[in-house]
Amino acid sequence: MLELAIGIILGCCALGAGCAMIAGIGPGIGEGNAVAKACEAIGRQPECKGSVTSTMIMGCAIAETTGIYALVVAILLIFVAPNTLVGVLKAALGL
């Protein structure tokens, strides 16, 4: 029975990590848009290349934030949560 419970915990943690990374779609689209617009801007005004590029990198890094949150959640679910949850389960069972 305990094996089954631990198996469910591990499987659900992996599943949750996978689901969390769906959030990677948003930053991907957002950064793609930003880069496309930056390319357009450079094509229109090549003399502004420097400032456009630095602004774009800044914006990309901020757009990346939500993806990074998802990544942190996924990493926690894979590397931290199983140990903690199994510990909680064992404590509850008095093992």
- Name residues contacting another protein, limited to 36-95 (CB under 8 A): 57-58, 61-62, 64-65, 68-69, 71-72, 75, 79
Number of residues that bind another protein (CB under 8 A): 12
Q: What is the dihedral of CA 12, 15, 16, 17, to 10 degrees?
A: 130
One-letter amino acid at 66 equals T
Q: Kindly state the smallest distance separating residue 94's Cβ from another protein, in Å.
A: 26
Residues at the interface with another protein (CB under 8 A): 57-58, 61-62, 64-65, 68-69, 71-72, 75, 79
